[in-house]
Structure 1
Amino acid sequence: MKNKPAYSVESVDHALRLAVCLQQEGAMGVTEAAARLGVARSTAHRLLAMLVYRDFAEQGVDRRYVAGPILRVPNRPERVVGLRDLAVPQLRTLMRRTGESSNAMVLHGRQVQMVATVECEHVLRVGDREGRLLPADRASGGRALLARLGRADLAARYDGETGDAFEEVERVVRQARRRGFAINDQSTEAGLTAIGCALEESPGFPPIALSVAMPTARYHRRLLPDIVGALRETSAALEADLRERANAPD
Structure 2
Amino acid sequence: MNKIFFYCHFFLDNLKFFCFIRIVSFNKMVFLYMKQLPNNSIFRAFRILFFMAEHTSDLGITEIANALGIHKSTIYRFLASMEQLGVVQQNPETNKYRLGLALFELGNRVPIKRGLVDKIHPHLENLAQQVHEIVNLAGLFHNEVLYLDKIEAHRRIQIKTFIGFHVPPHCAALGKVILAFMNPSDVDHILDEEGLPKRTEKTITDRSLLLRELEKIRTRHYAIDDEEFEEGLRCVAVPLFDMQDNIMASISISGPTARIHRKTIPKLVEALNNTVDIIQKSLKFERV
TM-score of Structure 1 vs Structure 2, range by shorter chain: 0.5 to 0.7
Q: Which amino acid aligns with 1:224?
A: I
Could you tell me whether the CA contact under 8 Å between 1:195 and 1:211 is conserved in 2? yes
Tell me, which stretches of 5 or more residues in structure 1 are unaligned? Answer: 1-19, 26-48, 68-78, 245-250
Question: What does residue 135 of structure 2 align with?
Answer: 102
Q: CA RMSD in A?
A: 3.5
Are residue 50 (structure 1) and residue 91 (structure 2) matched? Answer: no
Within-5 A mapping of 1:226-245: 226-243=267-284
Instruction: Give per-residue Cα distances to partners, 1:114-164, cap 9 Å, x unaligned.
Output: 0111111112354752111011111111111111113222112222549x7
Query: Which is greater in Rg?
Result: 2
Q: Give the secondary structure class of the aligned counterpart of 1:217.
A: coil
Question: What does residue 208 of structure 1 align with?
Answer: 249
Q: Which amino acid aligns with 2:167?
A: L
The count of residues paired between Structure 1 and Structure 2 equals 186
Identity of aligned residues (%): 24
Could you tell me whether the CA contact under 8 Å between 1:140 and 1:183 is conserved in 2? yes
Deviation at residue 83 of structure 1 after TM alignment: 2.7
Could you tell me whether the CA contact under 8 Å between 1:100 and 1:212 is conserved in 2? yes
User: 1:155 pairs with 165, 184, 188, which one?
Assistant: 188
Tell me, which stretches of 5 or more residues in structure 2 are unaligned? Answer: 1-20, 27-84, 90-99, 197-204
1:170 and 1:187 map into 2 onto residues whose CA distance is 15
Could you tell me whether the CA contact under 8 Å between 2:239 and 2:247 is conserved in 1? no
Bigger relative CO (Cα 8 Å, ≥ 6 apart): 1
Within-5 A mapping of 1:22-171: 22=23, 50-51=86-87, 56=103, 65=109, 81-124=114-157, 126=159, 129-159=162-192, 161=195, 165-171=206-212
Q: Give the secondary structure class of the aligned counterpart of 1:159.
A: helix
2:142 and 2:219 map into 1 onto residues whose CA distance is 22
Deviation at residue 22 of structure 1 after TM alignment: 4.2
Are residue 175 (structure 1) and residue 216 (structure 2) matched? Answer: yes
More moved, 153-162 vs 88-97: 153-162
More moved, 105-114 vs 80-89: 80-89
Instruction: Give per-residue Cα distances to partners, 1:163-217, cap 9 Å, x unaligned.
Output: x7432331221121121100001111011100000111258x9811000000112
Residues 56, 66 of structure 1: alpha-carbon distance in 2 compared, 3 angstrom cutoff: same
2:167 and 2:283 map into 1 onto residues whose CA distance is 24
Are residue 196 (structure 1) and residue 237 (structure 2) matched? Answer: yes
TM-score (norm 1): 0.63
2:154 and 2:105 map into 1 onto residues whose CA distance is 37
